[in-house]
A and B are shown apart, each in its own frame.
Chain A
Amino acid sequence: MRTRISADLVRGEFVVQIETISGENLLACNQCGKCSAGCPVAFSMDLLPSQVLRLAQLGIEEMLGSQTIWTCASCLTCVARCPKGIDLPRIMEALRQITMERGGNCLEVDQVSPEMMGEMPQLALIGGFRKFTT
Chain B
Amino acid sequence: MKFAYFPGCTLSTKAVGYDVSGRAVAAALDMTFEELPDWQCCGATFPLATNNTMALIAPTRMLTRAQEADNHVTTLCAICYHVLKRTQVFLERDPEALERINWFTEEPYAGQARVSHFLELLRDELGWEALAERVTHPLTGIKVAPYYGCLLLRPENEIGLDDADEPRILHDCLAALGCEVVDFPYKVECCGSYLAVNKPELPEKLSQEIVGSARRHGAQAIVTACPLCQFNLDYPQRPGGAKGAPAGDELPVLYFTQLMAVALGLKEDVWGMEGHYVDPSPLFDDRD
A-side interface residues toward B, CB under 8 Å?
A: 20-23, 40-41, 44, 70-71, 73-77, 79-80, 87, 89-90, 92-94, 97, 106-107, 111-113, 116, 119-132
Query: In the complex, are the beta carbons of B50 and A71 less than 8 A apart?
Result: no
A-B interface pairs (CB < 8 A), number: 139
- Which of A20, A75, A113, A128 counts the most B-chain CB atoms under 10 A from its CB? A75
- Known contacts A21-B50, A119-B235, A123-B79; decide if A73 and B44 are in contact (CB<8 Å): no
Query: In the complex, are the beta carbons of A74 and B193 less than 8 A apart?
Result: yes
Query: In the complex, are the beta carbons of A126 and B43 less than 8 A apart?
Result: yes
Judged by DSSP, the binding face of B is: loop
Query: In the complex, are the beta carbons of B154 and A79 less than 8 A apart?
Result: yes
Interface size for chain B: under 10, 10 to 19, 20 to 34, or 35 or more residues?
35 or more
Give B113 Cβ to nearest chain A Cβ, in Å. 21
Query: In the complex, are the beta carbons of A40 and B79 less than 8 A apart?
Result: no
* Cα distance A80–B154 in the bound complex, in angstroms: 7
Query: In the complex, are the beta carbons of A73 and B195 less than 8 A apart?
Result: yes
Asked if B231 CB lies within 8 Å of chain A CBs, one says yes
- Known contacts A120-B197, A122-B14; decide if A73 and B228 are in contact (CB<8 Å): no
Query: In the complex, are the beta carbons of B10 and A41 less than 8 A apart?
Result: no
In the A-B complex, list the 9 residue pairs whose CB atoms are closest, starting with the nearest: A128-B197, A75-B190, A127-B194, A93-B48, A128-B194, A76-B154, A126-B44, A127-B44, A75-B150
* Cα distance A129–B55 in the bound complex, in angstroms: 13
Give A95 Cβ to nearest chain B Cβ, in Å. 11
Asked if B140 CB lies within 8 Å of chain A CBs, one says no
Asked if B41 CB lies within 8 Å of chain A CBs, one says yes
A–B complex contacts, Cβ < 8 Å, 16 sampled: A71-B202, A73-B192, A75-B151, A76-B150, A80-B165, A87-B48, A93-B48, A106-B198, A119-B235, A120-B197, A122-B13, A126-B9, A126-B43, A127-B228, A128-B198, A130-B45
A71-B199, A80-B164, A89-B48 given; 17 more Cβ-contact pairs under 8 Å: A21-B49, A40-B192, A40-B206, A41-B206, A70-B198, A71-B202, A76-B151, A76-B154, A80-B156, A87-B48, A90-B48, A93-B48, A113-B200, A122-B14, A122-B44, A127-B44, A128-B194
Give B62 Cβ to nearest chain A Cβ, in Å. 14
Asked if B227 CB lies within 8 Å of chain A CBs, one says yes
A40 and chain B: residue at smallest CB distance = B190
User: Among A41, A97, A123, which residue has its beta carbon within 8 angstroms of that of B228?
Assistant: A123
- Which of A87, A93, A123 counts the most B-chain CB atoms under 10 A from its CB? A123
User: Among A70, A80, A112, A124, which residue has its beta carbon within 8 angstroms of that of B155?
Assistant: A80
* Cα distance A93–B45 in the bound complex, in angstroms: 12
Query: In the complex, are the beta carbons of B50 and A121 less than 8 A apart?
Result: no
| Chain B 209-228 near chain A by CB (<8 Å), digits 1 or 0 | 00000000000000000011
Asked if B59 CB lies within 8 Å of chain A CBs, one says no
* Cα distance A129–B45 in the bound complex, in angstroms: 10
Asked if B77 CB lies within 8 Å of chain A CBs, one says yes
* Cα distance A120–B45 in the bound complex, in angstroms: 16
